[in-house]
Each structure stands twice: as structure tokens, then as C-alpha cells.
Amino acid sequence: MSVGVLLVTHEKIGAALIEAARHVLTRLPLHVESVEIGADTDPETALLNTANLGRRLEQSDGILVLTDLFGATPCNVALRLHKAGLNTRCVSGLNLPMLLRVLNYAERPLSELAEIAVCGGRDGVRVDR
């Protein structure tokens, strides 16, 4: 079982999170790619480019798409990937704990990884004295 992971974010966020995950884990157990959408990027062009990358990344087990901010252009593009024929689950609110949790449960199916991503992201946010 192998789910692909696609980060669809604003500029510089996706690549930085992948690099941080490599620093922590050394070797990433899933194929992880990022698409970073700039402020001046045409959403239709972004969708076409993201869908093409998604098709190369997609395994028979689908793609977990992680976005940084719900309602922003990267998330809106990501949500349209399913309509482009890709087997995706999309989770927004991306942070490093979310990505690391997903990578630590690499053997899980797409539907479970989406829930694991949410738990990892939420549990990684703490308030301490």
C-alpha cells in the first residue's frame, strides 16, 4: 500500500516543510511532492499543473493532499483535483506535526491517513505556561 502525499501551499511553505521532515526523519517513507502557488498565479494554470503532478504521483492507493489555509487559492485548487479524476483526500491547516504524523503511519490507507493528518496537526498545537 502506498499513498502519495501532495502539499499544495502558498510560496515557500511546502518545500520548507518537506525539508524539515527530511531533517527529522532522514528518509521519507512516502513519495512527497509540493506545489507552491504564488500570488500572481492563474488558478486555472495552477490546477492544470497540480493535476499533472498529481497524476504522476498517484499510486493505486490515491493521494493525500495537504493544504496550508482553507479557502485560499492553494486549497481551492486542491479541492478541484478530485473533479479532475484523481483519487484524493484533502486536509487543510498543514503544519509540520501533521506531515510527520502522516509519514509515521505510511502503511495506512488514504482514508485513515486523512484522519491521522487531522489528529497530528491538532495534537501538535499546544499552549504551555
How would you label 18-45 residue by residue, b for 16+ Cβ within 10 Å and e otherwise?
beebeeeeeeeebbbbbbbbeeebeeee
Q: Which pLDDT value is given to residue 1?
A: 60
Map out the domains of the chain as residue ranges: 4-106
pLDDT digits (tens, 9 = 90+) for 19-56: 999 999 999 999 999 999 999 999 999 999 999 999 99
pLDDT of residue 64: 98
Q: How far is CA 64 from CA 13, 123, 129, in A?
A: 17, 19, 35
Q: Decide: pTM greater than 0.85.
A: yes
What distance in Å separates the CA atoms of residue 89 and residue 75, rounded to the nearest whole number? Answer: 12
Residue 59 has pLDDT above 90, yes or no: no
> What topology is assigned to 4-106 in CATH?
Rossmann fold (3.40.50)
Cβ neighbours of 64 (radius 10 Å): 26
Give 66-124 pLDDT, tens digit per residue: 999 999 999 999 999 999 999 999 999 999 999 999 999 999 999 999 999 999 999 99
Q: Tell me which H or E stretch contains 120.
A: helix 110-123
Q: 47: how many CB neighbours lie within 10 A of its CB? A: 20
